Amino acid sequence: MKHGLALFFCVSLCFIFLSSRTAPLHAQEPVAPVTEWMATVDSATQQIMLRWNPSATSATMGYHICTGTPCLDYDTVFGRLNTSYICVDHSPLERHTYRLHVFDSSFNVSSLTPSFGNVVLEAEVPECETTVRCHWTPYEGNPQPLGHEKPFYQVEILREPLDTAFHDFTGRSDGEPLECTFDLPESVTRVWLRVVVGIPDLSTTIDDYFHFQPESNIVMVERRTIDTASVVEISGIEYDSIHTVINLTCEVDTAFEYTLYRSIDGTPWREMITFQPKQSQFHYTDRDINPFDSLHCYMLKVFDACGLNPRYSNTAWVVIPNPISPAIAIPNTVIVGDPANGTFLPVVCGLKGDLYELFIYTRDGLLVYSTEDPSAGWTPAANTPQGAYAYYLRCRFNDNRIKIYTGSLLVIK
């Protein structure tokens, strides 16, 4: 009896073995591979995110991800519709490669995808420079552009690290080298950058799961400077009516160079003086005062040690009381070679310096002299013909009225 049982057991094992050699282990066909995949960097978390479209096989149980070369086991995602994965332990500042395949409940597996990876952006501003230098790794993934097109790369400037608004287009590269340079505006010292990959004809090649463009990591860049002024202030201002001057007192840092600007009655700021203070309190007397102008404004400007990142002081102003009313006196005779009467120069009181135009013509209408400087006049040369000339004067006064004066003058030898 024992021998009969042993013989039956051996025959059964042989049958099972032969059956396993002649019949397939699984009844199902191998699952279909995914057709779209890419790696991006999530803007909010700054972590690498893998995305792919769902498997076309309804029996799909999940997806297996491997990384590196050779491709080593990384993790498994269960569920046919779970088509994203965040690589929490992979830094977006480094390049990583991935591959994945599909498996079903019987552990049939599809073929592995080709390698794909994240785009890594690096950017810097050398010390004492304003030019940003960017370079990044190429995009590898699927979808790929159709035909002979190449991915294009767009560098976006962000004012905040999580800002999703597009602020500026600074660079584009359709291939190698993957780099760009641009200058930071004078008023900007710190920005955040990222690269967004564009794929030509993207809307015709991928489905709803890929209605976004791959992004790189976000990089913060700022101007790096050596030092900056600790003090820049106009602490005192007064008008001296006896000497017709304005006295300024400035609190400054002796290690830096400053520029003083002035605006009169709302005219544009104009540079007055550039100085290197020897003491922390700098005194300046503005003697170029027109008592016919009422409001005089002043402001200091200082750069850092690199000549960048300007800082401005407070605006200090003084009002000249009771400015003299506008008036003008125009001579009608010029004596050639006479020291006292040899120049035609209108005397204008209450003139605002942003508009002054003087033209002198011959009787035939030929222009012989013109100027926009109210302190300059026409001094006829020794060979200037004697006779009558015409003048045209247009100017603005401190009450903002613009007046035009025309007439004739006589040149005598």
pLDDT exceeds 60 at position 21: no
pLDDT exceeds 90 at position 367: yes
Indicate the residue type of 214. P
Predicted local confidence at residue 11, as pLDDT: 38
Indicate the residue type of 38. M
Q: Is 151 exposed, middle or buried (0-12, 13-18, 19+ CB in 10 A)?
A: buried
User: DSSP assignment, residue 391?
Assistant: E
| Residue, of 65 and 267, whose pLDDT is higher | 65
Predicted local confidence at residue 148, as pLDDT: 60
pLDDT exceeds 90 at position 171: no
pLDDT exceeds 60 at position 170: no
Q: Tell me, rounded to whole angstroms, the distance of Cα 138 from its chain centroid.
A: 24
Predicted local confidence at residue 1, as pLDDT: 45
Six token digits for residue 155: 């560098």
For residue 12, give the H/E element and its range: helix 2-22
CA distances from 137 to 47, 216, 250, 253 (A): 17, 9, 51, 45
Predicted TM-score (pTM) of this structure: 0.54
Report which of 171, 172, 170 is spatially closest to residue 200, judged by C-alpha positions.
172
Report which of 169, 216, 263, 158 is spatially closest to residue 41, judged by C-alpha positions.
216
| Residue, of 37 and 243, whose pLDDT is higher | 37
DSSP string, 159-188: SSTT--S---EEEEESSSS-EEEEEPPTT-
Mean pLDDT score across all residues of the chain: 83
User: Cα-flanking dihedrals φ and ψ of residue 7, to 5°?
Assistant: -65, -40
| Residue, of 22 and 158, whose pLDDT is higher | 158
> What confidence tens digit (pLDDT) does each residue in 289-328 have?
866 667 899 999 999 988 888 999 999 999 887 666 778 8
d(CA 62, CA 76): 7
Report which of 114, 98, 103 is spatially closest to residue 50, judged by C-alpha positions.
98
Which residues have CB under 8 Å from 319's CB, separation 6+?
A: 239, 294, 295, 296
- Do 141 and 214 touch, CB atoms closer than 8 A? yes
Under the banding of pLDDT at 50, 70 and 90, the label for residue 126 is confident
- Do 109 and 30 touch, CB atoms closer than 8 A? yes
Tell me whether the omega of the peptide bond preceding residue 143 falls within 30 degrees of 0, making it cis.
yes
Q: What percent of the chain has pLDDT over 70?
A: 81
Six token digits for residue 46: 């700054």
Predicted local confidence at residue 292, as pLDDT: 62
> What confidence tens digit (pLDDT) does each residue in 75-111 have?
999 999 999 999 999 999 999 999 999 999 888 999 9
* DSSP E strands, 31-82: 37-41, 48-52, 60-67, 72-78
> What confidence tens digit (pLDDT) does each residue in 128-148 have?
888 889 999 999 988 776 656
H helices of 262-365, in order, are: none
> What confidence tens digit (pLDDT) does each residue in 179-230 have?
888 887 766 778 899 998 887 665 544 444 345 589 999 999 987 777 889 9
User: DSSP assignment, residue 215?
Assistant: B
* 3 state DSSP class of 17: helix
- Do 159 and 201 touch, CB atoms closer than 8 A? no
d(CA 182, CA 134): 9
Predicted local confidence at residue 27, as pLDDT: 41
d(CA 290, CA 245): 9
- Do 352 and 398 touch, CB atoms closer than 8 A? yes
Tracing tokens 């332990």 back to the chain, one arrives at 89
- Do 179 and 173 touch, CB atoms closer than 8 A? yes
d(CA 7, CA 26): 30
